[in-house]
């Protein structure tokens, strides 16, 4: 009897053990499948090895009090920004763009890099499996000279972020002078293992080609050019920047892709945005936008999508474009994720471009014309 019981116990134990092994294998397979699916949703940045989600999140507003958050930065907005970060990651958006000049230390601001680094660490403590791709930028201030200035600024950024390296380091705008030295500094950063890839921002087609060639001589690909690009600001299509990016295999990262909220349908001529944006998106501009916004809304309804999701999808449909809308709340981040996983028809893409062409372009960041 004892032997029989022992055999039965052994059989039960073996059965449970096998099932646990099978269960673990199933979990591993499911995890591997999920990881593979997530990787398939990513795109390579230019000729680099870095892969990022097809849509990223801009962290310009985090901590800022100069352009955004005109009523000041407070604990409520801090919690909202953290929720936006978590909601983005929860929905598979893991590419975040910041800069050393986002959120100066004046007027109660907190540096955006500091906040992003804090959010990443808090998230890692809860879920160590999450990998976030971080992009930040070097400010080409007139008193900065030479390649060492890039390395010094990068090390300061890494300190604020609490990271040993970043995935993408960009020149925020072309300098008045010394651009060759800045590009050499980017190359040095790659060779020293401080960054995985490098890019530029607000670069004209000519400057982009020059930067590409200078880095190419060192065997370093120029991964990206971050410029303003939206349905109502299509200068990259008209000034040769988009064509140069496509030709050279450089990814165009689109900032202000929803025109700082003007394309979301949130604002009307009677209810324009406040703060500095009020000088750009005036009641007159918003009046001219209404026919386009009406059509965007109609198209969105046919897909069960919001206007925001439609205009972001329009950019993604241009190919070789990664939009980075700014998310200040979890709700915004959740909405942005709805721009992925579907596509406007070619006819709809063309129709929206035609409607938008009847509207005068909004103001740009002037340094892109240097």
* Long-range contacts of the stretch 69-77 (C-beta < 8 A, 24+): 70/274, 70/275, 70/276, 72/107, 72/108, 73/103, 73/108, 73/109, 73/110, 77/328
DSSP string over 293-324: HHHHHHHHHHHT--HHHHHHHHHHTTSSEEE-
Residue 176 and residue 43: Cα distance in Å, rounded?
33
Q: Is 234 exposed, middle or buried (0-12, 13-18, 19+ CB in 10 A)?
A: middle
| Residue 273, φ and ψ in degrees, nearest 5 | -70, 165
Cα 206 to its chain centre, rounded Å, is 24
Mapped onto helix, strand or coil, the DSSP state of residue 19 is helix
Question: What are the structure tokens assigned to 196, written together?
Answer: 């995985």
Q: Is 135 exposed, middle or buried (0-12, 13-18, 19+ CB in 10 A)?
A: buried
The residues annotated as belonging to the active site are 102
């Amino acid at each position: 009897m004892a032997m029989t019981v022992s055999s039965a116990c052994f059989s039960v134990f073996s059965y449970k053990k096998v099932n646990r092994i099978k269960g673990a294998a199933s979990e591993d397979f499911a995890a591997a499948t999920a990881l593979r699916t997530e990787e398939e949703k990513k795109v390579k940045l230019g000729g680099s090895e870095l892969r990022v989600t097809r849509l990223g999140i801009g962290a310009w507003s985090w901590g800022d009090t100069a352009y955004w958050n005109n009523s000041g930065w407070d604990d409520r907005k801090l919690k909202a920004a953290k929720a936006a970060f978590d909601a983005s990651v929860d929905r598979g958006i893991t590419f975040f763009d910041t800069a050393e000049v986002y959120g100066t230390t004046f007027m109660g601001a907190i540096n955006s890099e500091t906040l992003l680094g804090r959010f990443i660490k808090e998230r890692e403590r809860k879920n160590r499996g999450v990998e976030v791709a971080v992009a930040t930028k070097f400010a080409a201030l007139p008193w900065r000279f030479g390649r060492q200035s890039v390395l010094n600024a990068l090390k300061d950024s890494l300190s604020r972020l609490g990271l040993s390296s970043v995935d993408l380091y960009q020149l925020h705008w072309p300098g008045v002078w010394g651009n060759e030295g800045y590009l050499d500094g980017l190359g040095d950063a790659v060779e020293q293992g401080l960054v995985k890839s490098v890019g530029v921002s607000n670069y004209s087609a000519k400057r982009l080609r020059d930067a590409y060639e200078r880095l190419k001589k060192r065997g370093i690909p120029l991964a990206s050019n971050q410029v303003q690009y939206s349905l109502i600001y299509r200068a990259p299509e008209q000034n040769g920047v988009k064509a140069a990016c496509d030709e050279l295999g450089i990814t165009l990262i689109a900032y202000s892709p929803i025109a700082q909220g003007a394309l979301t349908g949130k604002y009307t001529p009677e209810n324009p945005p406040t703060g500095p944006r009020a000088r750009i998106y005036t009641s007159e501009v918003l009046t001219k936008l209404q026919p386009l916004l009406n059509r965007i809304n109609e198209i969105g309804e046919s897909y069960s999508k919001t206007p925001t999701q439609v205009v972001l999808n329009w950019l993604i449909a241009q190919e070789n474009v990664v939009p980075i809308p700014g998310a200040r709340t979890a709700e915004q981040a959740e909405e942005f994720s709805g721009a992925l996983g579907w596509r406007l028809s070619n006819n709809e893409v063309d129709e929206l471009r035609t409607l938008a062409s009847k509207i005068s372009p909004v103001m740009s960041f002037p340094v892109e014309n240097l």
